[in-house]
Amino acid sequence: MLDPMTTPIPTLDHEYKNHHLDSTRWNAFVPRDDDIIVSTSYKSGTTWMQHIIHQLIFKGDEGALPPGFCSPWLDARFQGSLEEVTAGLEAQTHRRFVKSHLPFDGLPYYPNVKYVVVARDARDVFMSLWNHYGNYTDEIMEQFNDRSEWSGPPFPSRPAEDRIRESWRDWMTRGWFEWESEGWPYWGNLHHTATYWPHRDLENVELFHYSDMLRDLSGQVQRLADYLGIEIDAAERERVVKATEFDQMKKDMLKGTNDMLKVAFKGGTDSFMFKGSNGRWREVFEAEDLELYDKARSQLLTPECARWLEKGWLG
């Protein structure tokens, strides 16, 4: 039995609607007992985790639809009509895995669903986000700023390259939503981790870390398979590892045709999957920039959570 005093059940406290998100789209979702929900804030390994789960479910079947087509981002306001997305999910006969970028205070909790949460050091998230943010096409910016379904200021274009530290200050000290204190102009990154951390001991919630996946992908694949109840032997585990190493995954995505990435990003897949590395922030941030991070971290995360977010389970 779970002790509700130490392992609380998540509650739906906020509605997230902005240029990217619409949490109310989950109202149309009908969960199945073996469903998987993959949640990160952004630029923390979502696509990587989707590819690993895809390999575990489809066993490398080259005839299976790619992850970007069979694992929709349900809370994306701009990613197809809700009716089309839910109809597509309803038609799936394989084990379903759905992407979300919502914190746990905006994502419904289903006791019969497995939650896979992936997090990354906030400083590395920002460096990846900076590249991501700077490669949006004019077409996708127009879609983001179609405010027929949400209110608030428009989503701004990324500042020039030499204003990276200014953007870091905004990201660390401003929230898009009134209950958040960082993440602007997206949504809270540290807040996302803070909402999942208290529920990490629930049997259907498992936290993974980007750095652990870099350090020991084989071990993390096995851990994920065990959590999802998918039996794999050593040979199958290593096949999954080879198929989901960064360079191989990017090569496979470049071979395919993903019209959404071509519409959204200059350079398509090539700019969407940039480097996949950590530590680049050390060449950019100065002491005063890192003081902002220290302050936000101490306000939003417990010491144990903060250490995990920087180091992972294996650090």
pLDDT tens readout for residues 35-84: 999 999 999 999 999 999 999 999 999 899 999 899 999 999 988 899 99
Neighbours of 155 (CB within 10 A): 18
The whole-number average pLDDT for the span 176-205 is: 98
Q: Where are the alpha helices (DSSP H) in 62-145?
A: 67-70, 82-91, 122-134, 138-144
What's the CA gap between 176 and 287, in Å, rounded? 25
Tell me: pLDDT of 268 over 50.
no
Radius of gyration for the alpha carbons in the chain, expressed in angstroms and rounded: 19
* 222-248 per-position pLDDT tens digit: 999 999 999 999 999 999 999 999 888
Domain ranges of the chain: 23-311
**Whether residue 98 has pLDDT greater than 50:** yes
| pLDDT for position 261 | 61
List 208's β-bridge partners, or say none: 118
What pLDDT does 305 receive? 98
**Pairing state of beta strands 97-100 and 114-119?**
unpaired
How buried is residue 168: exposed, middle or buried, by Cβ count under 10 Å (0-12/13-18/19+)?
A: buried
pLDDT at 260: 64
Q: What is the pTM of this model?
A: 0.93
Name, in order, each residue with C-beta under 8 angstroms of 285's C-beta and a sequence gap of 6 or more. 123, 165, 168, 293
Residue 2 has pLDDT above 90, yes or no: no
Strand pairing partners for 79? Answer: none
Tell me the fold of 23-311. Rossmann fold (3.40.50)
In 216-279, where does DSSP find H-type helix? 217-228, 234-244, 246-255, 259-264, 269-272
Residue 162 has pLDDT above 80, yes or no: yes
Residues 6 or more apart whose Cβ sits within 8 Å of residue 41: 101, 103, 119, 125, 183, 187, 188, 189, 191, 192, 193
**pLDDT score recorded for residue 254:** 62
